[in-house]
Amino acid sequence: MERLTLNYVWKQKPIPVVLRRTGLGEKLRVRLPFGDDNRQWLQNGRRTAPEWVGGADAYWELPKSWFNDFVDRALQRYGKVYIIQPYREQEICARACQEAQGHECQCSCMGANHGMGNDGSWFEVSDTFSTRWGERELACRLLTAR
Q: Does residue 28 lie within any of the structural domains?
A: yes
Q: Is the pLDDT of residue 128 over 50?
A: no
Q: Residue 121 class from Cβ within 10 Å (0-12 exposed, 13-18 middle, 19+ buried)?
A: exposed
Instruction: For residue range 84-93, list pLDDT tens digits in order.
Output: 998 876 556 6
Tell me, what's the pLDDT at 130?
Answer: 36
**Which uninterrupted H or E stretch holds 19?**
strand 17-19
Tell me, what's the pLDDT at 73?
Answer: 97
- Predicted structure pTM score: 0.71
Find the angle CA(20)-CA(40)-CA(64) to the nearest 5 degrees.
20
Number of separate domains in the chain:
1
Rounded-to-integer distance, Cα 103 and Cα 123, Å = 24
Q: Does residue 45 lie within any of the structural domains?
A: yes
- CA torsion 19-15-55-67 (nearest 10°) is -30
Q: Does residue 39 lie within any of the structural domains?
A: yes
- The residue that leads in pLDDT, 104 or 65, is 65
Q: Does residue 32 lie within any of the structural domains?
A: yes
Q: Does residue 1 lie within any of the structural domains?
A: no
Residue range of the domain that includes 13:
6-145
Backbone φ/ψ region at 10: left (φ over 0), alpha (ψ -120 to 50), beta? alpha
pLDDT grade, residue 101 (50/70/90)? confident
Q: Does residue 83 lie within any of the structural domains?
A: yes
Rounded-to-integer distance, Cα 79 and Cα 117, Å = 25
Using an 8 Å Cβ cutoff, are 109 and 96 in contact? no
Rounded-to-integer distance, Cα 117 and Cα 39, Å = 36
pLDDT grade, residue 107 (50/70/90)? low
Tell me, what's the pLDDT at 122?
Answer: 62
pLDDT grade, residue 105 (50/70/90)? confident
Instruction: For residue range 10-48, list pLDDT tens digits in order.
Output: 999 999 999 998 889 999 999 999 999 999 999 999 999
